[in-house]
């Protein structure tokens, strides 16, 4: 049985009253996560994840408040989960599994950018966003969780480079790595047992999401 394979697909009304899709995953009891999400980011216990679709012209003054409102509208307690936003099609979510490690990615490439680009090298921003949610089925230490975020990011950048995308990501990318609570596994780098599986799962999911994005923008 997978954790991320079958998200609940719902809808919410955006600020203009338009119905937009949102994905919801319920996490196993006792899940620990590290995340850069606008809601529920950082390190801690988490019960759910939502990934909500917004428009390319998204301009809410406080995205964390907005995604909390979306979560509450779905009957979730905003203090117990993680929320992500993206202008990518969340219904095109790409989910992959590599020896127990799972990754769900939604990929928007409206404004790719290089991480080390000089200030002023780009003047426009759109809410494209690559959102990555991962599940590792063994307890990772705090250091291993941080390392897993690096590993997932490296795998994303590798995939984009191989696909010829002119950037290492977008300015609003987010990642969440979830696992059972504990500290059994000390390492999460790309050549560790579980880090390697994570990297391959992320690489394939971002690759599929990139293909879906390009197909939808031809």
Is 121 buried (19+), middle (13-18) or exposed (0-12) by CB count in 10 A? exposed
Task: Look at strands 174-180 and 130-135 and give their pairing.
Answer: parallel
DSSP, residue by residue, 91-152? GG-EEEEETTEEEEEEE--SSEE-TTPPTTS--------EEEEEE-SSPBPHHHHHHHHHHH
If you search the block for the tokens 């301009």, which residue do you land on?
59
**Residue 80 to residue 109: CA distance in whole angstroms:** 30
73 pLDDT band (50/70/90 cuts)? Answer: very high
Q: Which residues pair with 177 in a beta bridge?
A: 34, 134
Task: State pLDDT tens for residues 1-17.
Answer: 799 998 999 999 988 88
pTM, 2 dp? 0.95
Q: Is it the case that residue 218 has pLDDT exceeding 70?
A: no
Q: Are 68 and 39 in contact (CB under 8 A)?
A: yes
Q: Are 51 and 93 in contact (CB under 8 A)?
A: yes
Interhelix angle 142-162/193-216, nearest 10 degrees: 40
Task: State pLDDT tens for residues 93-151.
Answer: 999 999 999 999 999 998 899 999 998 776 565 667 999 999 999 999 999 999 999 99
Domains and CATH numbers, the chain: 8-115+124-216 (3.60.70)
Q: How many helices (H) and strands (E) does the chain have?
A: 3, 12
What pLDDT score was predicted for residue 124?
A: 61
Q: Are 102 and 96 in contact (CB under 8 A)?
A: yes
């Amino acid at each position: 049985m997978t954790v991320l394979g079958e998200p609940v697909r719902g809808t919410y009304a955006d600020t203009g009253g338009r119905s937009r899709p949102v994905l919801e995953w319920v996490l196993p009891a006792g899940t620990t996560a590290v995340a850069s999400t606008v809601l529920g980011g950082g390190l801690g216990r988490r019960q759910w994840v939502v990934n909500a679709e917004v428009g390319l012209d998204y301009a809410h003054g406080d995205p964390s408040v907005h995604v909390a409102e979306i979560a509450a509208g779905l009957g979730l307690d905003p203090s117990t989960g993680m929320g992500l936003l993206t202008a990518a099609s969340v219904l095109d979510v790409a989910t992959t599994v590599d020896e127990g490690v799972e990754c769900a990615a939604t990929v928007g490439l409206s404004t790719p950018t290089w991480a080390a680009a000089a200030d002023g090298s780009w003047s426009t921003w759109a809410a494209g966003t690559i959102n990555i949610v991962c599940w590792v089925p063994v307890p990772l230490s705090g250091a291993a969780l941080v390392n897993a975020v690096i590993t997932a990011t490296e795998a994303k950048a590798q995939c984009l480079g191989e696909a010829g995308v002119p950037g290492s990501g977008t300015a609003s990318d987010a990642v969440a790595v979830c696992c059972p609570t504990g500290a059994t596994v000390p390492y999460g780098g790309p050549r560790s047992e579980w880090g390697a599986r994570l990297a391959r799962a992320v690489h394939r999911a971002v690759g599929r999401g990139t293909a879906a994005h390009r197909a939808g923008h031809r």
